[in-house]
Chains A and B, each alone.
Chain A
């Protein structure tokens, strides 16, 4: 497969801390390790507030001034965590990482039409010049994301959430970036549109086999549809990283948190995981999930190392060779 080629993105020991007044520190992301290979889609899933979006901001160099980062995130030969703003602004955002944002309504410029924003993006990121050529290129960009041409002359507030999302997706695809970073791309869309949006993202990954997609989402159905591998984040740590087929099919997730998340789906048992996620400013020393976990024992007061595909003292059994064949 693609294992011979170097990964598009290689994240090693990425941590993000926010320093708050009074010396408080919030551990938003802790020691994240993962690769995204060319032609691969990795879905990063977890509850709201678990640090998923902070991780995306760190990769784009968009963290607020009170954030401290550690570790590395290599994109090609460039470490995104240490690159200066000039490099990020001129060569990374839009060109090497296409961002599909969480809330398109806030991402789009409210005072300009979608057409005007698309044309500006095309002019900035590609060699297209001339009014007619720009107009055509912008319409093609809109079409690629399934944005209806009749709505191009509208302003963002005149669009439904789904159309605003497609406008933002169209903008992200313009630069032909090797890494697509989608931060909750399907929030607020109906199921058909979710399917279309993620299929479209998948198509851009499959098109030349060199591109990779990191999709941050809480929509498990969308993740199941698009992802090759799944990373589950809880309280700032990746607690499970595994093949999507094993995760969503048999034998299922191994971490108790992942299992709880899947069981909460309306087409499964629809029961919530008890309790709330811990405060990222006051994480326990041991396993952060232990207070909500029915498997917790005394050993959970120590931090479980990430072994194999999971960081847990009591994971569900690993798939046996028979499971894998089945």
Chain B
């Protein structure tokens, strides 16, 4: 279970972006979190991905309460969650070739030996051709870079996926393709999904259930 209990979080204690948000994702479930621009849903997604320390409230990941965040989070918790952000340009190191971008989590966790196999396998899964893997982010399109970012999120086989507006920058066909990749991964591994977005038609089609921001925060 991915449990967010009464989370208050933000960047200014006087004016938190998220107040008292509660949301639970059960294993294998896909939950869409729907809210307007600027409502704080991305902040909540960052909390769920262990990337932002909440001011109050509790995150419980598969029964383990989370006490440390970002790079201080214990590895077994951190690697249980894969994240895909809205803007691939801002979430990809411009110095890395796409193959290294995808392989980075493996190297960072001492699984260097599995790099060649996993990168090749995932590149095919997300639809990246071998010649794209040798390029750096500025040499590929947004859609191609987001494919690489999704591969990076899947490379450690996370039990949980957080997709924060994953497809907002993408055209309809690439959107359908990447959602297809996420769903195929979930079908084969039973991973849970929290998909944050503002497109009701997309989230209704994609997820088992869709939670409105208002019902999550009670505001």
Contact = CB atoms under 8 A, between A and B. Distances in A.
B118 interface: no
Interface string B163-201: 001001111111111011000000000000000001111
A49 B179 CA distance: 20
Contacts of A193: 36-37
B22 to A, nearest CB: 22
Interface in A138-178: 159-163
A325 B179 CA distance: 38
Q: Mostly helix, strand, loop or mixed at chain A's interface?
A: loop
B143 A272 contact: no
21 contacts: A47-B141, A47-B143, A48-B143, A48-B171, A160-B37, A160-B38, A163-B37, A163-B38, A187-B168, A187-B169, A188-B86, A188-B165, A188-B168, A191-B198, A218-B172, A261-B173, A264-B175, A265-B176, A266-B204, A270-B205, A276-B129
A46 interface: yes
Nearest to B34: A190
Contacts of B129: 276
A268 to B, nearest CB: 9
B171 A47 contact: yes
A273 interface: yes
**Interface size class for chain B?**
35 or more
Interface of A: 46-49, 159-163, 187-193, 218, 220, 260-262, 264-267, 270-273, 275-277, 279
B69 interface: no
A272 B176 contact: yes
A260 B205 contact: no
A277 B177 CA distance: 13
B172 A220 contact: yes
A264 B206 CA distance: 13
Contacts of B175: 264, 266, 272
Given A48-B170, A264-B173, A266-B206, 5 more contacts: A48-B174, A160-B37, A190-B36, A261-B171, A272-B176
B170 A266 contact: no
A48 B36 contact: no
B180 A276 contact: no
B74 interface: no
Contacts of B142: 48-49
Nearest to A267: B201
B171 A191 contact: no
B144 interface: yes
B183 to A, nearest CB: 10
A-B pairs, top 5 by smallest CB distance, nearest first, are: A49-B141, A160-B38, A190-B198, A162-B37, A272-B177
B130 interface: no
A197 B206 CA distance: 26
A114 to B, nearest CB: 14
Contacts of B202: 266
B127 interface: yes
Contacts of A47: 141, 143, 171, 173-174
